[in-house]
Amino acid sequence: MSEPKAAADDSLGALIPVLGLCGFASTFTMRLIDPLVPTLAAEFGQSVHQIAFLVTAFSGCYALGQPFLGPIADSVGKLRSISTCLALLCVLSALAAFATDFWMLLVLRAAGGVMAGGVIPAAMAAIGDRAPMSERQIMLGRFLVIMIIGQMAGAAFSGIMADHIGWRAVMLTAAILAAGGALLVRIVLKPRANADRPPLSVAGAAASYRAVFANPRSKMLYLLVMLEGALIFGIHPFVAAILHERSSVGSSEAGLAIGAMGLGGLLYGVLTRILVQRVGPRQMMRLGGLAMAAGYIAFAATAPWWSAMAVFLAVGFGFFLLHGTFQAQATELAPTARGSAMALFACFFFMGHATGPLVMGALLHALGTHGALLTAGVGIGVLGLLSPKLLPPLGSRT
C-alpha cells in the first residue's frame, strides 16, 4: 500500500494546529471532573466513590460510542464528523453547567463522553490519511502537544476556577472551547478531494471492522491499550481525596498535580522526533512503562502535596512514550478503514479508562492507598516491559 503523496501534505500546516485545538477542547472536557470530585460530593450530597462514577460514565460512553462513530467518520468525512461532535459537545457542556442534581449531571456527562469520543480518534485518523508513515508518529506528537495542553488545562484550570468562581463556570468554559473548535474546522480545513468514502451502512461498517481485524496485530494492540488505560487513569478521580487526606489541600492543588501529567506529555511532544530517531519505539515502550511505575510507586509514599506534581510529570512523560507508540501502530492497522481502526483503538482505551476507577476504588478499599498505588505501579511497569515483545513496532530498532 503506497503512502500518501506529498501533494496531500500541503494542508498539514493548518491541519495540525486546528485539529490540535479540537483535541484541546475534547481533553479539557474529559479531565475537568478529576479535581472537582470532593467539591461535587459536597454539592450533591454524594460520596467520593459515587462522584468518581462521573468519570466512569464519561469514559464508558466515550468507548461505547466508538464502534458507531468510526464508520460515520469514514463515510461522511472525518472533518465533518469532528465539527458536528464538537457542536453537540458544546450544547451538552452548557446544559451540564445548570445541572440541579447528581443524576442530571451524570446523564449529561455520559452523553458528552459520546460526543467527545468523536473528536480525537477521527483527528488522528485524518492525520494518518495525510502524513506518510515515516513522519506519522512525529506529526501525531505535534498534535498531542496541543491536545495535552487541553488535558493539563482541564485539570489545573477546573480546580482553580472551582475554588474561586464555582464548578459551573468550568462547564461553561468547556462549552465555549467546543464551539470554537467546531467553527475552526468548518472555516479553516477542507476535506480531501476525491477521497474514497464508503457509504454509511451496517454492511459497510462491518466490512470496515473486518478489515481492521484481518490484521493479526489488532487484537493484541487493543488488549494492551485497554490495560494501559485502566492502570494509568484508574487513580485520577481519587487524587484530590488522597491529597486532601495527606495535606488538607483543595481542588486547586489537586488540579495542579494532575495537570502536571500534561507537562510530561508536552515534554514528549517536543522530543518526539529525537526519541523516535535515536531511542526507537521499542525502547520508548520499555522506558515509558518504567517511568510510570516509578511515578506511582513514588506517589505511594507520604510527601508534601507539591511533590505530586513531579510524580505526575514523570507519569505523563512515560504514558506518552508508551501510548504514542501504540497510536502510531494503530494508524497502520487498516489504511482503507483508518477511521474505524482509530475508533476501536479509542474504544478499547476508554473501556480501560472507564473500568480503571472501579478497580482502583476496590483496591483502595482492600489494600489502602499505599497498596493500591504500588499495585498499579508494578502493573504498568510490567506492561511497558512486555509490550515490545508482545507487539513489536514494525520496522523499529531494538
Could you tell me the CA-to-CA distances from 163 to 12, 124, 156, 261 in Å, in that order?
39, 35, 11, 21
pLDDT at 195: 64
The residue with greater pLDDT, 92 or 251, is 92
Is a pLDDT exceeding 80 seen at residue 36? Answer: yes
**pLDDT bucket at 395, cuts 50 / 70 / 90:** low
The residue with greater pLDDT, 14 or 19, is 19
Tell me if 145 is assigned to some domain: yes
Average pLDDT of the chain to the nearest whole number = 84
Cell numbers 442530571 correspond to 104
Instruction: State how far the Cα of 58 lies from the Cα of 149, in Å rounded to an integer.
Output: 20
The residue with greater pLDDT, 155 or 80, is 80
Contact 326, 32 (CB under 8 A): no
Instruction: State how far the Cα of 195 lies from the Cα of 193, in Å rounded to an integer.
Output: 6
Tell me if 396 is assigned to some domain: no
Q: What is the pLDDT of residues 229-250, one digit of tens each?
A: 999 888 888 888 888 888 888 7
**pLDDT bucket at 137, cuts 50 / 70 / 90:** low
**pLDDT bucket at 270, cuts 50 / 70 / 90:** confident
Contact 28, 180 (CB under 8 A): no
Instruction: State how far the Cα of 266 lies from the Cα of 240, in Å rounded to an integer.
Output: 23
Please give the average per-residue pLDDT across 366-373, as a whole number.
Answer: 92
Is a pLDDT exceeding 90 seen at residue 224? Answer: yes
pLDDT at 168: 92
- What is the residue range of 320's domain? 15-188+215-390
Instruction: State how far the Cα of 362 lies from the Cα of 33, in Å rounded to an integer.
Output: 20
- DSSP classification of residue 304: -
Q: What is the pLDDT of residues 331-356, one digit of tens each?
A: 888 877 777 888 888 889 888 988 88
| Nearest Cα to Cα of residue 136 among 1, 2, 272 | 272
Taking residue 398's Cβ as centre, other Cβ atoms within 10 Å add up to: 9
Amino acid 76 reads: V
Amino acid 379 reads: G
Instruction: State how far the Cα of 376 lies from the Cα of 371, in Å rounded to an integer.
Output: 9
Tell me if 298 is assigned to some domain: yes
Could you tell me the CA-to-CA distances from 393 to 60, 137, 188, 276, 283 in Å, in that order?
28, 12, 34, 11, 10
Tell me if 398 is assigned to some domain: no
pLDDT at 358: 87
The residue with greater pLDDT, 126 or 380, is 380
Is a pLDDT exceeding 50 seen at residue 6? Answer: no
DSSP 241-272: HHHHHHH---HHHHHHHHHHHHHHHHHHHHHH
Could you tell me the CA-to-CA distances from 117 to 157, 183, 329, 359, 394 in Å, in that order?
22, 18, 19, 22, 27
Contact 222, 342 (CB under 8 A): no
Q: What is the pLDDT of residues 169-202, one digit of tens each?
A: 999 999 999 999 999 999 988 776 666 666 677 7
Provide the domain count of the chain. 1
Instruction: State how far the Cα of 75 lies from the Cα of 57, in Å rounded to an integer.
Output: 27
Please give the average per-residue pLDDT across 60-83, as a whole number.
Answer: 85
Could you tell me what percent of the chain has a pLDDT over 70?
A: 91
| Nearest Cα to Cα of residue 345 among 225, 213, 232, 220 | 225
| Nearest Cα to Cα of residue 88 among 69, 114, 64 | 114
Is a pLDDT exceeding 80 seen at residue 142? Answer: no
**pLDDT bucket at 5, cuts 50 / 70 / 90:** very low
Alpha helices in 32-47 (DSSP H): 37-44
Taking residue 250's Cβ as centre, other Cβ atoms within 10 Å add up to: 19
Taking residue 46's Cβ as centre, other Cβ atoms within 10 Å add up to: 18
**pLDDT bucket at 3, cuts 50 / 70 / 90:** very low
Q: pTM for the full model?
A: 0.73
Cell numbers 506529498 correspond to 6
| Nearest Cα to Cα of residue 265 among 288, 283, 296 | 288
Tell me if 76 is assigned to some domain: yes
Amino acid 199 reads: P
Tell me if 246 is assigned to some domain: yes
**Which string of b and e fits 198-227 if b means at least 16 CB within 10 Å?**
beeeeebbebbbebbeeeeebeebbebbbb
Tell me if 200 is assigned to some domain: no
Tell me if 43 is assigned to some domain: yes
Is a pLDDT exceeding 80 seen at residue 166? Answer: yes
Q: Domain with 241 in it: what CATH number?
A: 1.20.1250.20
Please give the average per-residue pLDDT across 56-62, as a whole number.
Answer: 88
The residue with greater pLDDT, 390 or 346, is 390
